[in-house]
């Protein structure tokens, strides 16, 4: 049971890191493409959607090479240390991004890269649905860009934020491919990369303990159902109306 709580805690940590970062990036990216670039937004919308349909297994192989002790990231830090003459950076290299201290951040980075694009597309759809008449009216009142985003765009994005956040929670609770590949199925050093879904797989297929695996599956289902019900209670039709008021 101890390993289950550890896997759940790891899942929560990775979910918080990746969830917050991907939605902040997605909203920023959506706003930038629609309000700043405008022309060519459809091309960039297709481009940022590509990570979502790219195989997580293939991406994990790239991540291994990029974040390995002799990969691009460490090589970049080494070059920076030599160029700026910072010996404390050179002394800390190479960084093992797959050890117990870094593996959760490495997994979160891959998850963020994969899902930021699809969330940005969702937010772009929400922003594009806002009537231009509303923006013209607030322009007459002398509102700046920040005030327009805060008082017009953000409140009208609430249904889209609700949907995207709920999908993120459900997806993160079922996170399997990224930790499976990046820890080679072991859960990493001290099981620091073990997630609930990976632990379920380990118990059911590696240890042939289908009883425990079934119990974990039911617990996972209950957690997802709880958060889904909570979100619909707080941000469902009545909740959204309360939010607008």
Q: Which domain holds residue 96?
A: 2-244
Q: Which residue in the block uniquely carries the two structure tokens 């879904």?
A: 197
* pTM, full prediction: 0.89
Could you give the CA distance from residue 215 to residue 236 in angstroms, rounded to a whole number? 30
Could you give the CA distance from residue 134 to residue 147 in angstroms, rounded to a whole number? 13
Residue-wise pLDDT for 173-203, tens only, equals 999 999 999 999 999 999 999 999 999 999 9
Q: Which residue in the block uniquely carries the two structure tokens 């806002």?
A: 130
Q: How many domains does the chain have?
A: 1
Q: What is the CATH number of the domain that holds 171?
A: 1.10.3720.10
Asked if residues 36 and 60 have their Cβ atoms less than 8 Å apart, the reply is no
Residue-wise pLDDT for 58-113, tens only, equals 999 999 889 998 889 988 888 888 888 777 777 777 889 999 999 999 999 999 99
Q: Which residue in the block uniquely carries the two structure tokens 């090479």?
A: 65
Q: How far is CA 86 from the centre of its chain?
A: 32
**Tokens read off for 117:** 């694009």
C-alpha torsion 133→135→140→143, nearest 10: 170
């Amino acid at each position: 049971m101890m390993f289950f709580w550890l896997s759940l805690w790891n899942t929560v940590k990775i979910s918080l890191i990746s969830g917050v970062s991907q939605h902040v990036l997605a909203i920023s990216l959506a706003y930038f493409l629609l309000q700043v670039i405008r022309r060519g937004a459809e091309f960039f919308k297709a481009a940022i959607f590509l990570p979502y349909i790219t195989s997580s297994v293939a991406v994990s192989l790239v991540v291994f090479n990029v974040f390995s002790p002799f990969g691009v990231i460490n090589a970049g830090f080494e070059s920076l240390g030599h160029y700026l003459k910072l010996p404390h950076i050179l002394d800390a290299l190479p960084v093992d991004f797959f050890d117990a201290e870094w593996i959760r951040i490495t997994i979160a980075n891959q998850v963020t890269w994969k899902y930021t694009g699809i969330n940005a597309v969702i937010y772009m759809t929400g922003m594009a649905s806002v009537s231009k008449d509303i923006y013209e009216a607030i322009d007459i009142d002398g509102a700046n860009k920040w005030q327009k985003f805060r008082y017009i765009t953000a409140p009208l994005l609430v249904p889209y934020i609700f949907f995207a956040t709920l999908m993120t929670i459900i997806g993160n609770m079922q996170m399997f491919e990224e930790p499976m590949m990046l820890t080679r199925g072991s859960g990493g050093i001290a099981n620091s990369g073990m997630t609930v879904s990976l632990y379920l797989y380990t118990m059911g297929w590696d240890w042939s303990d289908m009883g425990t695996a079934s119990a974990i599956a039911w617990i996972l289902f209950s957690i997802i159902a709880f958060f889904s019900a909570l979100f619909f209670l707080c941000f469902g039709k009545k909740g959204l109306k309360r939010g607008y008021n």
